[in-house]
Structure 1
Amino acid sequence: MRLLPRRLPIVAGLALTALVTTQPGIAQARPPHERPVDVQLLSITDLHGYLRPHDDAANGTVKDAEGRTIVVGGAPYIATHLKRLRAGHKNSITFSTGDNFSGWPTEVAYHADEPTIEFLNRVGVEFSAVGNHELDLSPSFLRDHMGKGRCFGEVDVDSCFTDSTGRRFHGADFPFSSANITAKGSGKPLLAPYVIRWVKPERGPKIPVGFINLTTPTTVGGSTSYQPTLDNLSLVETANRYAAELKRRGVEAIVANVHEGGTAGDVYDRCNANPTGPVFDFARQVTPDIDAIVTGHWHALFNCSVPDPAGDPRPVVEAANHGRLINEINLRIDPATRDVIRSATTSVNHPVTRDVPADPEMVTLVDHWVNRGGQTYARPVGTITGDLTRTRDADGESTLGNFAADAEYADSRRTPGGNADLAMVAVAPVKGSVALRGDLRYAKGTNPADADGTVLFGEAWSAFGYANPVVTVSVTGAAIEQALEQQWQTQANGSVRFAPLAVSGNVRYSYDATRPVGDRVNPADVLIDGRPLETGRTYRLAALAYTLIGDDGYTAFAGFTDAVRGSRDYEAFRAHFAQGPVTPPALDRATALR
Structure 2
Amino acid sequence: MRTTSHTFSRTSVRRCIGAGAVFATAGALLMVPQAALAADETEATAATTTTVQVLGINDFHGRIEADAYGGLPGASGLVGAVRALETENPNTLFVSSGDNIGASTFTSFIQQDTPTMESLGLGGLDVGVVGNHEFDQGFADLTDRVQPFYQQFGGDNAEYGADLTLGANVYKKGTTEPALKEYAIREVDGVTIGFIGTITADTQTLVSPAGIADIEFGDQLEAVNRVAAEIDDQVDVTILLTHSGAEVSGSDETTCADIANEQTDFGALVRDASPAVDAILSGHTHQNYPCTIQDRPVLQTGSYGANLSKLDIEVSTDETGATSLVSIGSSLVPLTDEEGAPVYAPAEDVQAVVDAAVAYAEVQGNEPVGKISADILRGGEAPGDDRGVESTMGNLVADMYLWATTDYAKYGGEPADVAFMNPGGLRDDLIYASSDAGEGDGVVTYAEAAAVQPFANTITTSELTGADIEEILEQQWQPGQDRPKLHLGVSEGFSYEYVEDAEPGEHIVSMTLGGEPVDPAATYTVTTNSFIAAGGDGFTAFANGPFRDTGLIDLEASVDFMTEHDVVDPAPLGRAVEYVEAEPTPEPTPTAEPTPTAEPTPTAEPTPTAEPTPTPTSEPTAEPTQEPTPTAEPTQDPAPSEQPSQTPSAPSDNGDDLAPTGGETGWALGLGAAVMIAAGLVISTRLRRKA
TM-score, normalised by the number of residues in structure 2? 0.52
Match of 1:45 among 45, 57, 69: 57
Is 1:586 aligned to residue 572 of structure 2? yes
CA distance in structure 2 between the partners assigned to 1:117 and 1:194 by the alignment:
20
Match of 2:407 among 413, 418, 421: 413
Q: Residue 301 of structure 2 contacts residue 332 of structure 2 at CA under 8 Å; is this kept in 1?
A: yes
Report matched runs for 1:205-220 at 5 Å.
Answer: 209-213=193-197
**Partner of residue 438, structure 1:** 428
Q: Greater RCO between the two (CA within 8 Å, min separation 6)?
A: 1
Deviations 1:79-116 (A, max 9, x none): 865886797x7xx7543344534576542244343322
Q: CA deviation at 1:391?
A: 0.8
Q: Residue 220 of structure 1 contacts residue 232 of structure 1 at CA under 8 Å; is this kept in 2?
A: no
Q: CA deviation at 1:591?
A: 3.5
**Partner of residue 367, structure 2:** 379
**Partner of residue 600, structure 2:** none
**Partner of residue 9, structure 1:** none
| 3-state SS of 1:366 partner | helix
Report matched runs for 1:2-13 at 5 Å.
Answer: none
**Partner of residue 145, structure 1:** 141
RMSD in angstroms over aligned alpha carbons?
6.2
**Partner of residue 575, structure 1:** 560
Is 1:424 aligned to residue 410 of structure 2? no
Q: Any unmatched runs of 5+ in structure 1?
A: 1-32, 62-71, 152-159, 165-169, 202-206, 266-273, 429-433
Q: Residue 406 of structure 1 contacts residue 504 of structure 1 at CA under 8 Å; is this kept in 2?
A: yes
Q: CA deviation at 1:518?
A: 6.0
Structure 1 residues 213 and 514 mapped into 2: Cα distance closer, same or farther (>3 Å)? same
CA distance in structure 2 between the partners assigned to 1:419 and 1:97 by the alignment:
27
CA distance in structure 2 between the partners assigned to 1:407 and 1:298 by the alignment:
24
CA distance in structure 1 between the partners assigned to 2:231 and 2:554 by the alignment:
41
Q: CA deviation at 1:399?
A: 0.7
Match of 2:473 among 471, 475, 487: 487
Could you tell me which amino acid in structure 1 is paired with residue 453 of structure 2? F
Report matched runs for 1:56-71 at 5 Å.
Answer: 58-60=71-73
Q: CA deviation at 1:403?
A: 1.5
Match of 1:253 among 225, 228, 237: 237
Q: CA deviation at 1:400?
A: 0.5
CA distance in structure 2 between the partners assigned to 1:514 and 1:318 by the alignment:
43
**Partner of residue 3, structure 1:** none
Deviations 1:439-485 (A, max 9, x none): 2233455x64665544231221231375455567888xxx5587357
CA distance in structure 2 between the partners assigned to 1:444 and 1:318 by the alignment:
45
Structure 1 residues 279 and 112 mapped into 2: Cα distance closer, same or farther (>3 Å)? farther
CA distance in structure 2 between the partners assigned to 1:427 and 1:348 by the alignment:
34
Q: Residue 485 of structure 1 contacts residue 518 of structure 1 at CA under 8 Å; is this kept in 2?
A: no
CA distance in structure 2 between the partners assigned to 1:427 and 1:53 by the alignment:
24
Structure 1 residues 510 and 456 mapped into 2: Cα distance closer, same or farther (>3 Å)? same
Structure 1 residues 404 and 371 mapped into 2: Cα distance closer, same or farther (>3 Å)? same
Aligned length: 491
CA distance in structure 2 between the partners assigned to 1:398 and 1:138 by the alignment:
35
Q: Any unmatched runs of 5+ in structure 2?
A: 1-44, 154-158, 261-266, 337-341, 581-691
CA distance in structure 1 between the partners assigned to 2:461 and 2:310 by the alignment:
41
CA distance in structure 2 between the partners assigned to 1:102 and 1:199 by the alignment:
31
| 3-state SS of 1:390 partner | coil
Higher helix proportion (structure 1 or 2):
2
Q: Residue 488 of structure 1 contacts residue 499 of structure 1 at CA under 8 Å; is this kept in 2?
A: no
Structure 1 residues 185 and 140 mapped into 2: Cα distance closer, same or farther (>3 Å)? farther
Match of 1:322 among 269, 287, 305: 305
Match of 1:195 among 176, 184, 209: 184
Is 1:460 aligned to residue 463 of structure 2? no
Q: Residue 42 of structure 1 contacts residue 94 of structure 1 at CA under 8 Å; is this kept in 2?
A: yes
Could you tell me which amino acid in structure 2 is paired with residue 438 of structure 1? D
Higher strand proportion (structure 1 or 2):
1
CA distance in structure 2 between the partners assigned to 1:95 and 1:189 by the alignment:
21
Q: Residue 376 of structure 2 contacts residue 392 of structure 2 at CA under 8 Å; is this kept in 1?
A: yes
Range with greater deviation from structure 2 (280-289 or 411-420): 280-289
Q: Residue 378 of structure 1 contacts residue 456 of structure 1 at CA under 8 Å; is this kept in 2?
A: yes
| 3-state SS of 2:403 partner | helix
CA distance in structure 2 between the partners assigned to 1:316 and 1:539 by the alignment:
34
Larger radius of gyration: 2
Structure 1 residues 400 and 146 mapped into 2: Cα distance closer, same or farther (>3 Å)? same
Q: Residue 39 of structure 1 contacts residue 199 of structure 1 at CA under 8 Å; is this kept in 2?
A: no
Report matched runs for 1:460-479 at 5 Å.
Answer: 460-464=449-453, 466-470=455-459, 479=465
**Partner of residue 392, structure 2:** 399
CA distance in structure 1 between the partners assigned to 2:344 and 2:516 by the alignment:
68
Q: CA deviation at 1:551?
A: 3.6
CA distance in structure 2 between the partners assigned to 1:389 and 1:364 by the alignment:
36
CA distance in structure 2 between the partners assigned to 1:175 and 1:239 by the alignment:
17
CA distance in structure 2 between the partners assigned to 1:586 and 1:186 by the alignment:
50
CA distance in structure 2 between the partners assigned to 1:568 and 1:505 by the alignment:
21
CA distance in structure 2 between the partners assigned to 1:570 and 1:211 by the alignment:
34
**Identical amino acids, percent of aligned pairs:** 21
Report matched runs for 1:258-297 at 5 Å.
Answer: 277=256, 289-290=276-277
